[in-house]
Amino acid sequence: MEVLTFPAVQLLDVTGPVQVFASANDLVANAGGAPPYRLKLVTQGDQGVVSSAGVTLAAGPLSRRSEALDTLLVAGGRGVEVAAANPALVDWLQQRATQARRVASVCTGAFLLAAAGLLDGRRAVTHWKDCARLAQRFPAARVERDPIFVCDGPVWTSAGVTAGIDLALALVEEDLGRSMALAVARYMVVFLKRPGGQAQFSAALALQAADDKFGALHDWINRHLSDELSLTVLADRAGMSERSFSRHYAEATGQTPARAIERLRVEAARRLLSESRTPVKRIAQRCGFGSEETMRRSFLRLLAVTPQDYRSRFTF
């Protein structure tokens, strides 16, 4: 297994997945077996690589493109834009991927995969704040906003930073079975399969990109979630016609007003479920769902869990 790194790589994009595979090696070795993963960090040049955190990683030079390879993992981070604009590195990635059984990216590493044409026609995900940018720059990729990770054939992509751990656990499960993946997750004290998607953490944050234009409106919405928030009400509040508001809002946020309202209501309900003992019925009313059933459907659609399950998993 090779992990592609570059200057200003995100440290956890590298160390999180690597630790998953290293823990699997340890568990298999402790049971008397041969470690299943041989891990190698690679980078352009031969001086190692300095991460965005200032920690130097002992990465070796890029391997020969013709060598057989099981898994190629591409990290993300602040330096990914420079890396994706490097023709020699992109060419190496294109060629190296043809020798790998599977290719995966962590967080914004998806931009490198896309630059190499590896996401053309495939479903993919990246950090929630970069999904729209990935879709705009690489329209041949089918970018999804919500999943923690996506597998489309031999190509895997994951959401932001810690989602690389989720992806690595899924790869271990594919290779070694659920029992081993669960053992690694238990050892690392993480979910084997995290409930919900990255949408559960990013509803309000994802709208911050539109704060210059709709920041005041979002503040008002969050104070009036229990009110009727129809398109007419929102457009009037924004001082626009309904048609103009719908178009400008979608351009600024990447989603319809109705979907944004639903996400904000789910996020508010999520906070109340995890931070209070307020009954579910009362939370549904306070957050503007009107009924428990409506809130349950929204939770299932956006988080893939019911409100009751969310409370049981996230209340400490």
pLDDT in tens, 254-286: 889 999 999 899 989 988 998 889 999 999 999
pLDDT at res. 213:
79
Q: Is the pLDDT confidence value at 211 over 60?
A: no
Annotated catalytic residue within 107, 131, 151, 287: 107
Catalytic, 131? Answer no
Kindly report the pTM of this predicted structure: 0.70
DSSP string of 61-91?
EPPPTTS-EEEEEE--STTHHHHHT-HHHHH
Which helix (H) or strand (E) segment holds residue 100: the answer is: strand 100-105
Q: Tell me the pLDDT tens digit for each residue of 51-109.
A: 999 999 999 999 988 888 999 999 999 999 999 999 999 999 999 999 999 999 999 99
Nearest to 43 by CA among 77, 16, 20, 19: 77
> Radius of gyration (Cα) for the chain, nearest Å?
22
Instruction: Mean pLDDT check: name the lowest of 152-161, 193-202, 226-235.
Output: 193-202
Q: 3-class DSSP state for residue 302?
A: helix
Q: Tell me the pLDDT tens digit for each residue of 102-155.
A: 999 999 999 999 999 999 999 999 998 899 899 999 999 999 988 889 999 999
- 312, 228, 290, 307: CA torsion to nearest 10: -10
Check if the beta carbon of residue 96 is closer than 8 Å to that of residue 64. no
Q: Tell me the pLDDT tens digit for each residue of 191-209.
A: 776 655 665 555 655 565 5
